[in-house]
Every structure is written in structure tokens, then in C-alpha cells.
Amino acid sequence: MSLDPAAPDSATLGSAGELAALRRIFPILPPAAAATVGPGDDGAVIAAPDGRVVISTDLLVHGPDFRLAWSSPFDLGWKGAATNLADIAAMGARPTALVVAIAAPLDTLITDLEGIARGLRDACAELAPGVGVVGGDLSASDTLTIAVTVFGDLGGVDPVLRSGARAGDVIALAGTVGRAAAGLRLLFAQGIDEDGEPDPTAAAELVARRPAAVEAQLRPTPPIAAGVAAALAGATSMLDVSDGLLLDAGRIASASGFDLDIDLHALEADRAWIAGAAPELIEVSAEIVLTDGEDHSLLATFPATATLPGAFRPIGVVRQGDGRVLVNGEDPAVRTTGWDSFVGWDGAAG
Amino acid sequence: MSLDPAAPDSATLGSAGELAALRRIFPILPPAAAATVGPGDDGAVIAAPDGRVVISTDLLVHGPDFRLAWSSPFDLGWKGAATNLADIAAMGARPTALVVAIAAPLDTLITDLEGIARGLRDACAELAPGVGVVGGDLSASDTLTIAVTVFGDLGGVDPVLRSGARAGDVIALAGTVGRAAAGLRLLFAQGIDEDGEPDPTAAAELVARRPAAVEAQLRPTPPIAAGVAAALAGATSMLDVSDGLLLDAGRIASASGFDLDIDLHALEADRAWIAGAAPELIEVSAEIVLTDGEDHSLLATFPATATLPGAFRPIGVVRQGDGRVLVNGEDPAVRTTGWDSFVGWDGAAG
């Protein structure tokens, strides 16, 4: 096993070994301001000044969650950080640190692991400065898998759950809907080869034609700081939109026991963005903004008397009801089921 | 997708879907006394009364970390909890909660996921009562992978690191060494078919002959409560023995900058246990107790004036030196490299 941090770029996990890989990855990973003990011992120690800690965990698995034909290692690191940070924000908390466990095939290039580390680093720096990686694990596997667990501090404010929406509340959104989904639809339609399999050459050509939409899918930018702002402004419920606006609004509706009525006109800007960035999707832009997810925007409800934080715009109202989602006061005419990796995954490896 | 929690035992992740699987798993998972918000929202919230939280994460991957021909789903859940709890104990902290993310093939039986949940539950109940599962994730993958992240509270005491051993300290051990390793050696030698592949029938026959050793490998019982006891007694360094006593002692030695001198006579009871539970390994019992890991016992150093907590027994002394490990005052004659999943994994799937 080579212990040389300057191992050549052709080195793989299998040829260089775990220690050499870790020695190249560690210097890239961002330190966490909250860490009092960082990587290298049996456990890390982070500050939890509130006396409570918010925790969320997510797996990214090659196949159902990403395709290496479409996502670069940097993209995977970015997305692993961004989507998890959004879960902490959606609780009304400030993210503090991540741990990242990676299982990768033995022929994985160490430069690719470095790419994942750079994506983690840059996403933290851009979306949640001060957040860093305090620990992790590296294992061999036939299937590239990235497990991220993220921590947050509540700063003395109660967590914002899904169950607190009340009739008369304003529904508000921080961030965008439909962008990541437009990119995914383009990738499935145009980032493929003649057999319909994910293809890196086709994806590269697509990126050249439609950079904004594909970038929104591969490197989403959730409005992390808006989570704490919402909690301080008195948000009664919140979540991040990962599975589609209607599906996720339905989660608040059913947990709270009221109807959420979305005003489609309030999403005109989102539809206009799709029209500009992916004109071939104009006709389905209403469906996309309502049913597709992955921008990881923050959907929240606020008392009608609250002043919405700057990142939020009103997109509807909460009404008496039995936990349904309405669009413009009516039952939505589009499907409201979101992504399910067990139903939606075809097992292709691309 | 069936949403019926009473789906038949032949139901798989792919046939029943994620929701049905989660509805059957959730009721089995142990609640955490520390949880103020449990599973079901964007994140969980746990109490961190110390104002700091200890974190550790580990992957269990089919192939390098376990074989389904040898381990039952219950065993996997047990081991996932036990090994992670030991990492928190090794920091001198009290474990409070776990999150568990599972990626599994679509043909995985839901009854097997229930088995993993039962193993998690029973390990928490036996090893660290009050610890529970506060969140997780479930994803499709070609490779069964279990990612566990565990949290702990320091209770106002500083974490016990690897770097604090000083000349004159007593080296002490809570728990056992060599038992899990004896079981693993038996499995590799006798739990296989004619082609040398892991085999469930051969493993079952082995369990009937050598139950204690195999159980020690598949369901280790680290002395979790001894971690806090060590911190309170003034331990100067600590870790859990996962890769072999000499290798892990070497980690303390090199982090601390002193020599750790292990007294092999102090491990007579461990060798006697192997002689009783796996007589075919008598001749290599010294090597096993010194070089093989996975009992997840706690190795610590204490000032010579300290009163050792009841779970600990002295096994050597710390000496002036440059960070080496000695056995009976001499360079050990056995190999001191432990398990490396990148070198040790042959890719077999059993």
C-alpha cells in the first residue's frame, strides 16, 4: 500500500489503499467552525450551544439517485452537501457540520474522491459558510454510495415542524421550483445514447445547449439561510421541496390537518425561467413547477400577520379542510405523486 | 404500491415500495429517550445537555464488512449498533441516539429489513438502554449497505482522545480481545463450501459446534458503560479495539508520543477463552488476542494513581519512547497490521 499523498492521478482506491486515499481527501475537506474535535479519533465533537441538536441523514446511491454519466464527482459532493443542508434549514436551524461516509468500487480513481471532497467543500462555502466535515468513513463496495449526515443548531428557537400550519396562514416559498426538474427531464430526454442509456457525450452536448437547467439539477442551490429567518419570523410549518411542490405541500397539509391552497399565478416566474432555460419544456412548465422536486427550496407557512423574511414570497393560503392540497382553489389536475426510488428506478447503471 | 403494513412475508422492497417497508420497520425501531423530535420530519432533534455532541459514523457494506451467508439481518442490525456505540463510549461519552440509512436491493424481503430493525433494537436495549433510532433513509441499491451515525453526550467531562497517554500510565482494557476474531477465523475456515465461498449451511453447522465464538463475531457486546466510567476515573487516552490490540495500541502510542508496553500474561484469560470456545485455534491464540480485532473492547490509559473502574483490568504500562508498541518489553514478533477493507476484500459476494 502506498502512503504517498502525491500518488499519481491514475491511482485507484484498490491500488493506493484506504490510507493513501484519506491522506489526499482530508486536506480538501472543509473544517467546521463548530468542531472541537475533528476527524481522526473515534468520534468528532461539535458544539451544540442550544443544548439540542438537529440531525438529518441521506443516502446518494449510484443508479436511483445519480448517474456517473451525468454527474461529475464534484457534482455529487455538492449535491450531497446541498440537499442535506436544506433538511437542517427546513427545521429552522443553522447547519453546523457534516459527516460523510463513502463506499466506492476498488477501481474508483482517487482523483474522483478528491472531486467529491471539492464539491462538499465548495457547497458548504457557498451555501452555509462555516459548515465543515468533521468525520466519515471510506469502504469498498460494488456500488458507489455516499451517506451524508448533517447537524444543526436551533439557537434557542423551537424547531419548525410540518404539523403547525393553521387556517389563515400564508403559504410562502424561499427559492425556486422546477429548475432542477427541468434539468432532469432534459437529461432523461437528451442526455442519452441511442439505446436510451445515460451517456456522457450526449450530456456534455446538452450542458452546452442548456447550461442553466442542467446545472440546477446537478448542483442545486437551496436557500439555506432562509431557514433560520423563517423560524425567527414565526413560521408555523416548513419543509424543503424535494419531491415536488404539491406532494410536499400535501405533507404539511396532512400533518397539520388543514388544506393548502397554492396560487399557480404566484409561480409565473418559475415557469418563465423554464421557458427561458429549457424552451422545449414550455408546454409542461405548469406540471413541472407543481409536481417535480429537487430544487430544495423551503416551503413554509406563516401567520397572516407575520412579516415574511426577504427570501420568501407568498404562494397561497392555508384553509379549513381535511389535509388536502388545492391549486387555485380546486383539486389539482396533475399527478401529485413524487419520486419513489423503488418504483422509479429501472436498475440501469449508466 | 401497497401501503398495507400487514403485507405478506414474501413482500420485497421492490414489490411493496418504500412506504410499506417503512411502515413495517418504524414500529420495531427503539425510541430514543433523548429525542424531542423523532423520525418523520426533515430532521430529528435530540437533547445535547452538555452543549457539545459526540458523533461517529460507520458503513457496513455487503462483501468487505459482512456476508449474508454468515450474518442474519438481526446480526447486521446488532453489529451496526454495537460497533457505533463503542465509538461513542471510546470518547468517554454516553450514547444518546442513532440514525440508520439502508440501501438495499429491490428483491430484499421486508421481513429482512424488520430483522435488521430488531437487531438494532435489541443491541440498544442490551448495551445502551435509552438509546434509540431517531431517523434514517431507505434507498434502492445493488449492494446492501447500512450506514449508521451515532451521537453521544459528554455530561460535562472532556472527551478522552488518543493523544493523552503519558509515561507511567497504566494501560487497561475493558471487555475482551480475540473472541470475535476467533469466530471470524472459524467462519473463514469452516463456514465455506467446497469452493471456499461463504456458505450458510456450513456456517449453521459451525454455529452448532462453536456457538460462543461465532456469536462473538456476529453479535459483539462491547462494554459501552465503561466508556463514561473511564472518563470519570481520569483516563488519559482511550479507543475501542476494532482492528487488533497491537494496531490500536499503536494508534494511542503514536498520537501520544510514548511507547505502550503490553503484558501478554494479562491476556491469559482471553487466550483461555479461545482455547475453550475454539480449541482448533489454541496454537495461534496469542496472535489472535494481539493482532485481531472486532470485540470492540475499550483500551485506555490511566494515571498510575487512578483507581481503575470495575470493568477495566491492567494489561501493561506506558513508557518513555517514540510511539511504538511493545509486548513484554520487546518488539512484538507478530504482524501488527489490522484489517484493511481495500486490501482484505476479495470481492466475493457470498
Asked if residue B236 lies in contact with residue B303, where contact means CB atoms within 8 angstroms, the answer is: yes
Cell of A66: 445519480
Which chain A residue is nearest to residue B108, measuring alpha carbons? Answer: A342
A56 is in an annotated binding site: yes
pLDDT at A349: 41
Enter the ipTM.
0.91
In chain B, what residues touch A52 (CB-CB under 8 Å)? 36, 45-48
A139 to chain B: nearest residue by CA? B341
Residue B239 · residue B299 · CB < 8 Å: yes
Per-residue pLDDT tens digits for A254-270: 999 999 999 999 999 99
pLDDT digits (tens, 9 = 90+) for A184-227: 999 999 999 999 999 999 999 999 999 999 999 999 999 999 99
Q: Determine the residue of chain B that is closest to A99 in CA distance.
A: B57
d(CA A210, CA A275): 11
Other beta carbons less than 10 A from residue B280's beta carbon: 15
pLDDT at A341 exceeding the cut of 60? no
Axis-axis angle for helices A211-218, A179-190 (nearest 10): 110
Q: Is A9 annotated as a binding residue?
A: no
Torsion of CA A140, A146, A147, A153, to 10 degrees: 140
SS (H, E, C) A86-144: HHHHCCCCEEEEEEEEEEECCCCEHHHHHHHHHHHHHHHHHHCCCCEEEEEEEEECCCC
Q: What are phi and psi of B14, to 5 degrees?
A: -75, -40
10 Å CB burial of residue B24 (0-12, 13-18, 19+) is buried
Residue A286 confidence (pLDDT): 94
Residue of A18, A19, A37, A42 to mutate when probing chain B, most B C-beta within 10 A: A42
More confident residue, B345 or B140: B140
User: Which percentage of chain B shows pLDDT scores above 70?
Assistant: 93
Q: How many other CB atoms are there within 10 angstroms of residue B49's CB atom?
A: 15
The secondary element (H helix, E strand) that includes residue B137 is: strand B132-140
Distance from CA of B266 to the nearest CA of A (A): 25
Cα distance from N-terminal residue to C-terminal residue, chain A: 30
The mean pLDDT value for A61-89 works out to 96
Q: How far is CA B103 from CA A296, A314, B106, B142, B258, in A?
A: 22, 37, 9, 8, 42
CB < 8 Å to A48, chain B: 48, 50-53
Three cell numbers written together for A233? 419570523
pLDDT at B226: 98
Q: Report the 10 Å Cβ neighbour count for B177.
A: 29
CB contact under 8 A, B101 and A147: yes
How, if at all, do strands A312-319 and B44-47 pair? unpaired
Given a cut of 60, is residue A251 above it in pLDDT? yes
pLDDT at position A299, please? 98
Q: How distant is the alpha carbon of residue B280 from its chain centre?
A: 25
What confidence score (pLDDT) does residue A334 get? Answer: 60
Mean pLDDT, to the nearest integer, of A114-124? 98
Annotated binding site of B: 42, 56-58, 65, 87, 136-137, 162, 240, 242-243, 294, 339
The Cα of A214 is separated from the nearest Cα of chain B by a number of Å equal to 24
Q: pLDDT value at position B134?
A: 96
pLDDT at A132: 96
Per-residue model confidence (pLDDT) at position A19: 86
Residues A341, A347 contacting (CB under 8 angstroms): no
Beta bridge partners of B59: B147
B262 bridge partner residues: B316, B327
Q: Is residue B95 pLDDT above 80, yes or no?
A: yes
* Top-confidence residue, A343 or B62: B62
Q: B220 is written with which cell numbers?
A: 459483539
Assign B9 a pLDDT band (cuts: 50, 70, 90). confident
Cell of A2: 502506498
List the grid coordinates of B329.
518489553
* pLDDT higher than threshold 80 for residue B85: yes
What is the pLDDT averaged over residues B46-58?
97
Judge: A59–B17 Cβ closer than 8 Å, yes or no.
no
B293 pLDDT band, cuts 50/70/90, is confident
Would you state the pLDDT for residue B1? 39
8 A C-beta contact, residue A132 and residue A98 = yes
Tell me if A37 and B161 make a contact (CB, 8 A cut-off).
Answer: yes
Instruction: Reduce the DSSP state of residue B135 to 3 states and report it.
Output: strand
* Rounded-to-integer distance, Cα A242 and Cα B50, Å: 33
Which pLDDT band holds residue B205 (cuts at 50, 70, 90)?
A: very high
Q: What are residue B97's phi and psi, to 5 degrees?
A: -165, 165
Indicate if the pLDDT at residue A348 is higher than 80.
no
* A21-25, A277-281, A311-315: the lowest-pLDDT one: A21-25
3-state secondary structure chain A: CCCCCCCCCCCEHHHHCHHHHHHHHCCCCCCCCCEEECECECCEEEECCCCEEEEEEEEEEECCCECCCCCCHHHHHHHHHHHHHHHHHCCCCEEEEEEEEEEECCCCEHHHHHHHHHHHHHHHHHHCCCCEEEEEEEEECCCCEEEEEEEEECCCCCCCCCCCCCCCCEEEEECCCCHHHHHHHHHHHHCECCCCCECHHHHHHHHHHCHHHHHHHHCCCCCCHHHHHHHHCCCCEEEECCCCHHHHHHHHHHHHCCEEEECHHHHHHHHHHHHHHCHHHHHHHHHHHHHCCCCCCEEEEECCCCCCCCCEEEEEEEECCCCCEEECCECCCCCCCCCCHHHHCCCCCC
Distances, alpha carbon A317 to alpha carbons A169, A171, A314, in Å:
6, 5, 8
pLDDT value at residue A93: 98
**pLDDT value for B58:** 95
Domain annotation for chain B: domains and CATH numbers: 13-153 (3.30.1330.10), 170-337 (3.90.650.10)
Are the Cβ atoms of A135 and B44 closer than 8 angstroms? Answer: no
Q: What is the pLDDT of residue B335?
A: 53
| pLDDT value for A344 | 44
Average pLDDT over all residues of chain B? 92
pLDDT at B6: 55
Q: What is the dihedral of CA B295, B296, B300, B306, to 10 degrees?
A: -80
* A325's grid cell: 392540497
User: How confident is the model at residue A340, as a pLDDT?
Assistant: 47
CB A326 within 8 A of CB A260: yes
Q: How far apart are CA A347 and CA B136, in angstroms?
A: 22
Q: What angle do CA A310, A316, A320 make, to 5 degrees?
A: 130
- Answer whether residue A40 shows pLDDT above 90: no
Fill in the amino acid letter for A321.
G
Cα distances from B147 to residues A55, A80, B272, B283, in angstroms, run 14, 15, 35, 37
Residue B347's pLDDT is what? 42
Does the pLDDT value for residue B340 go beyond 70? no
CA separation for the pair A78, A93 (Å, rounded)? 20
Q: What is the mean pLDDT of chain A?
A: 92
Q: What is the DSSP letter of B9?
A: T
Which residues of chain A make contact with B61, given a CB cutoff of 8 A?
Answer: 103, 139-141, 145
Flag whether pLDDT at A74 surpasses 80: yes
How many interface pairs between A and B have CB atoms less than 8 angstroms apart?
249
The pLDDT assigned to A339 comes to 45
**Using an 8 Å Cβ cutoff, are B131 and B101 in contact?**
no
Give the residue-averaged pLDDT of B231-257. 96
Q: Do A47 and B42 touch (CB under 8 A)?
A: no
Read off φ and ψ for residue B171, nearest 5 degrees: -90, 130
Task: Give me the residues paired with residue B148 across strands.
Answer: B58, B100
Instruction: Measure Cα distances from A169 to A158, A176, A230, A307, B100 in Å.
Output: 18, 20, 13, 12, 35
| B318-325: average pLDDT | 96
Q: Which residues in chain A have their CB less than 8 angstroms from residue B55's CB?
A: 43-46, 97, 99, 134-135, 149, 151
In the predicted model, what is the mean pLDDT of residues A316-344?
76
Could you count the other beta carbons within 10 Å of the beta carbon of residue B98?
29
Distance, in Å, from the CA atom of B238 to the CA atom of B159, rounded to the nearest integer, reads: 9
